[in-house]
Amino acid sequence: MTDPGVVALVLTIVAPLLTSIAAGMIVLLRDKWPAESTISRVIGAGLLLSFAGSIGVAVSHFGWLGPRLREDISFGNWVSIGSYEIPAVLHIDHVSVAFSLLGATLTALVSRFSITYLHKEAGFARFFLMLGVFGAGTQLIAFAGALDLFFAGWEAVGISSALFIGFFHERPQPVRSAIRAFTTYRFCDVAFLIAIVATHELINSTRLTDLHQLAALAPLQVGLVASLLLIAAFGKSAQLPFSGWLVRAMEGPTPSSALFYGGVSIHAGLYLLLRTSPVLGAAPLVAWGGAAVGLLTAAYASAVARTHTDAKGALAHATLAQTGLILAEICLGLTTLALVHLVCHALLRAWQYLRAPNAIHDAHYFGHAHIESPPSPPRARVGPGMYLRLLHRFRLDDGLDVLVRAVSASAYSVQRLHTRFVAWWGVSA
């Protein structure tokens, strides 16, 4: 008889993806766009099933209604090429259960919120299709038992994130912001890929339960893997020097901002470090460097948030300040504190992002004079020069903007040369 906990585990990951595919088929096969209620109900059903499955996994893991679910559940190999194998293994512990419940809860809530918020929006169906892909990617990240599977969920979250930033593609700025975020993701994902390959070559495994073997290797080897994992986390969680894309990500709809950059996606890099904490523990110098970056990011974001001119941008930097502190906690070995901090912060920020439009509306409607609020604590005054530096975020993005434009221009030139070569070759042949 199949273990109910295993069924719940598979359902948690697969349900959002299958309903997203089903909704996509409905869009493709019908002569006209389906009703909003049809798309939202199909995707909503998948997200609710995923949420129920996540609860079932938690119940099975803690053994509340029967025997406990074992930690590693293997489904064989996903890919096998010579001696290189990608195991289809899922890992269940208190960390994965907490992140799964967080992701499933916030995704389901944002889905319900978006039905009203995006009513009669031209991209309504597109939004919910991407939401299903994101839900599946989040759950795969939560329960992946090997770095290769983790990377698959990581990519699903990254692609949907970039598409949500460029959701209003009829305007040029959201598209530019999406390209900037996606370029940052690509750079840091390369570091993640190299770390995966290096781990396999060094210990012949990428299972999370085998990462402790890296501690027996030379300090240079384990330090290299730890540094690559840190770079991957820096990009996904917008730590310095990769913080510039986060405020630009506010170009997307408010529900996606709440889910991605207040709740789940912004914490995915930190979750990666929680999963690979044995590697950081074996490379103390790298871990101290990561803690320093986290604290520096927290100080930078806290200062910039005080001068930001819009609500979502201020929330983005407030989020960045807390993720910097969580990064420092992880690098200092305070993993339990970091997990609690992560979950509580994600819930608070998601609520604040969803509440932001109403808060702005209330402020304009009632007027600032009629809003009763406690007196603000005294703030340290800064000179106009420092104020301008904070307002422009110390212009840390300028150098990265030049690099991104150079990469984009090079890619465009290569694409044009390739097109001309293909056209010439076709004519010549």
Of the candidates 339, 282, 303, 348, which has an alpha carbon nearest to the alpha carbon of residue 106? Answer: 348
Q: What pLDDT, on the 0 to 100 scale, is given for residue 402?
A: 65
- Note whether residue 76 is domain-resident: yes
- Note whether residue 173 is domain-resident: no
Distances (CA, A) of 262 to 39, 117, 337: 25, 17, 19
For residues 341-370, give the mean pLDDT: 77
- Which range (9-18, 25-34, 116-125, 416-425) has the least confidence? 416-425
Q: Tell me: do 205 and 118 sit in the same domain.
A: no
DSSP assignment string, 402-421: HHHHHHHHHHHHHHHHHHHH
* Percent of the chain topping pLDDT 70: 85
- Note whether residue 109 is domain-resident: yes
Q: Tell me: do 75 and 188 sit in the same domain.
A: no
Q: Tell me: do 231 and 316 sit in the same domain.
A: yes
* Structural domains of the chain, count: 2
Q: What pLDDT, on the 0 to 100 scale, is given for residue 4?
A: 82
Q: What pLDDT, on the 0 to 100 scale, is given for residue 82?
A: 75
What residues make up the domain containing 303? Answer: 183-359
* Average pLDDT value for the chain: 86
- Note whether residue 170 is domain-resident: no
Per DSSP, the three-state class of 81 is strand
- Which range (215-219, 221-225, 241-245, 415-419) has the least confidence? 415-419
For residues 84-98, give the mean pLDDT: 91
Q: What pLDDT, on the 0 to 100 scale, is given for residue 334?
A: 94
User: What are phi and psi for residue 87, nearest 5 degrees?
Assistant: -75, 135
- Note whether residue 150 is domain-resident: no
Of the candidates 346, 178, 167, 174, which has an alpha carbon nearest to the alpha carbon of residue 268? Answer: 346
Q: Tell me: do 133 and 253 sit in the same domain.
A: no
Q: What pLDDT, on the 0 to 100 scale, is given for residue 312?
A: 80
Q: Tell me: do 199 and 334 sit in the same domain.
A: yes
Q: Tell me: do 225 and 92 sit in the same domain.
A: no
pLDDT in tens, 13-68: 999 999 999 999 988 888 778 888 999 999 999 999 999 999 999 999 988 877 78
Q: Tell me: do 205 and 271 sit in the same domain.
A: yes
Other beta carbons less than 10 A from residue 153's beta carbon? 21
Domain boundary among 97, 122, 145: 145
Could you tell me where the DSSP H helices lie in 261-310? Answer: 268-275, 277-281, 284-305
Domain boundary among 340, 359, 378: 359
For residues 334-359, give the mean pLDDT: 90
For residues 183-202, give the mean pLDDT: 92
- Note whether residue 420 is domain-resident: no
- Note whether residue 168 is domain-resident: no
Q: Tell me: do 35 and 129 sit in the same domain.
A: yes
pLDDT in tens, 312-337: 888 888 999 999 999 999 999 999 99
Is the pLDDT at 379 greater than 80, yes or no? Answer: no
* pTM for the whole structure: 0.88
End-to-end, the C-alpha distance of the chain in Å comes to 62
Q: Tell me: do 52 and 128 sit in the same domain.
A: yes
Q: Tell me: do 140 and 187 sit in the same domain.
A: no
For residues 220-248, give the mean pLDDT: 92
Domain boundary among 90, 121, 145: 145
Q: Tell me: do 208 and 344 sit in the same domain.
A: yes
Q: What pLDDT, on the 0 to 100 scale, is given for residue 69?
A: 83
Q: What pLDDT, on the 0 to 100 scale, is given for residue 369?
A: 47
In this structure, is the dihedral angle defined by the CA atoms of residues 144, 344, 249 and 356, taken in order, positive or negative? positive
Q: What pLDDT, on the 0 to 100 scale, is given for residue 426?
A: 58
Q: Tell me: do 234 and 351 sit in the same domain.
A: yes
Q: Which residues contact 212 (CB under 8 A, 6 or more apart)?
A: 278
Distance CA 4, CA 25 (A): 30
Model confidence band, residue 96 (pLDDT cutoffs 50, 70, 90)? very high
